[in-house]
Structure 1
Amino acid sequence: MDMPHTSRRHLLRLGAAAVPLAALGPVLPAASARAVAAGNLYMPAETDRHLRTYMAWPALSSVWGDGLGAVRRDIAEVAHAISRFEPVVVLARPSQAAEARYQCGRGASYAIEVLEIPNDDLWIRDFGPTFLVGPGTVAGLDTNFNGWGKAGTTFEQPYANDAAAAASLLYEYGVRRLRAPFVGEGGSLEADGDGTLMVTVSSLVNDNRNPGLSQERLGELMKGSLGVDKVIWVPGLAGQDITDCHIDCLARFTAPGRVILDKPGPRADPKWVAVYEETKRVLESATDARGRRLAITELPGPDTRETTGGGKEFLASYTNYYTANGGVVAPRFGDSYADGVAYAILQAAYPGHRVVQVPIDGIASGGGGIHCATQSHPAPPPAA
């Protein structure tokens, strides 16, 4: 029997560790998950209609230091921007929920709800569930978040609460939970909703996540568990950022057969320029699951001499944007020329959407962006 909604909330306030595994809702083992996904579930395009957007309130000064306040203000502003288009749910530790409600609750259009689920950081794209859809149904794939495999490195940070959040969130909304047969993050998976997935080799074929699994085997596991027919692999670059070069900072589908490619701006580190050049070569010769050649639009980054933020980890990428119901929420970095070019390119790529740019210097200083800080809960397609 399903538990009452209020009881679920009470359990979540205690933390995922206090909730019996069986109480977190039905969980399909890996083999069953693959079979279900191959049958009628698939990873949708982000442009498909959403029920809501999930975000997370950054919790730890040990991670963000003196920048924690600025990062929280950025999260609130991004939540406000998305709320112009759809409801927003922000996960927060119970002890921090009141502050999150205060900062996020002012000036919203659609509702912004703060949900008391313990977390560690804001990167819900990576530790939250990756949603799958089928006729009349939605399921959530838990990709076994392990802190990007950074234990014992300079990138290591606490992630125990984040690792449990996907199960808690799916339980809260009564969504069936599947366990992925691989370790990864939502930011490492870019789907067109029509059978094609883009990923980087560096973030998945990596012993810090999937030791002993070959690229070929991982491709088969992702096809089965994400309901896709083809995986386009680009090399990426391991060990240079916390994600090992996620695809969502590099290349995004705007529609089946159409890709936006991040082009590093002036003064970009040569290693990231090389990643862009290699990615472009791969995509120019690739075809998608339906045999289409990819139409590529380059999205140039800003000149970091002109940006209002900076630092060693600063992610100066417009490509890490988020699509909501009728909206595109993208960063603004303070380089007025580059900001304007990005706005025009994104508006042309999403003609049925309204582009809204938000300054995110705090978030970007941690090596991420708006897409990293969001996760969409898709609406179920019509039942067959």
Structure 2
Amino acid sequence: MTPADLSLTVLHAVRRAVDEGALRVEVPERVKVERARAGGIGDYASSVALGLARPSGLDARAVAAILRERLRDSPGVRSVDITGPGFLNFTLDGDSGQELVRDVLRRGEEYGHREPTGDVAQPVHRADVRAAVTADAVRRILRSQGTLVRVACEDAADPDWALLGASPEAEHARGRLATDIAPLPVPFGAAELHRRLGRDAARWGLLSAAGHDHARLGDELLQQHERNPLFLVRYAHARSRALLRNGAQLGISPGYDEPVEDATRLLALLGDHPAVLLSAARHRAPDRVARHLEAVADALLAFQHAVLPLGDEKPSAAHRSRLALAEAAGTVLAGGLSLLGISAPDQI
């Protein structure tokens, strides 16, 4: 069971409790589950009962008990415990990492994407290059979450935006809709940014900072150094692909056959990816995806040295599993960069 599967399982338990009259609350749109903290119980935890306590008129532990009764027999869940003021703690059957890695590799760069929801969005952006590029990334992220999107611009579009991958053909809103994508502007035009930084680095600089912060568009975006977050993310992706090539030369193919004990952080970050995409879509904040990719890249680069045999070490099932995890991490990095409109080269 993946974190996304567990989130849906808990949401279904809430809906069932409401349908049966055990809870009188409005069913939330989603339920957040997180990796259990060090010293905690089980694999994952959720504070959903605390959030439902006040509207239900019940104590949070009472709400948690109602939900636990409806979760105990859920496939993939071994046990459900209640801790503290009303946290639900889940212990999953088998190796949750195995299922997670297999899910990433099965879905490829579309891991974390959702089926069409029927929702329609029409974001309106201010008529400047940063807003236009942000709107383009928001369009990509919303579509990944099953939403139909039609972008509009508050004024006439600039054809130069196409240099950075933003459509100059966005519908002119003409005051009919409120502008909702308006990050702090930058003192550069699209043509200058493309000439000085190129498309990928310019997009990263425009998208990686939150909209209320100034964009970072200095020459450091072109430096081939891990202090440059864009290089870090793309380098980590390239390393994952290099590990696959090196593994093939050693006769090792990826296959998550046994748990990888020393990759807790990397597995947790991969499991968080669907929730990050959903959050970025809800808040129309591509910077959330960029920050998540930085964290995944950092964890993968810390893990990479343990993937393949060293010295006289013989290839084993453990190496197959580690290689599969590295491939999954590279897949998440490539998928995330694609949503930002940035390429993910296999070699750097």
Q: TM-score, normalised by structure 2?
A: 0.25
- From the two aligned structures, give the one with the greater strand fraction: 1
Higher-Rg member (1/2): 2
Greater length-normalized contact order (CA 8 Å, ≥ 6 residues apart): 1
Task: Looking at secondary structure, tell me which structure has more helix per residue.
Answer: 2
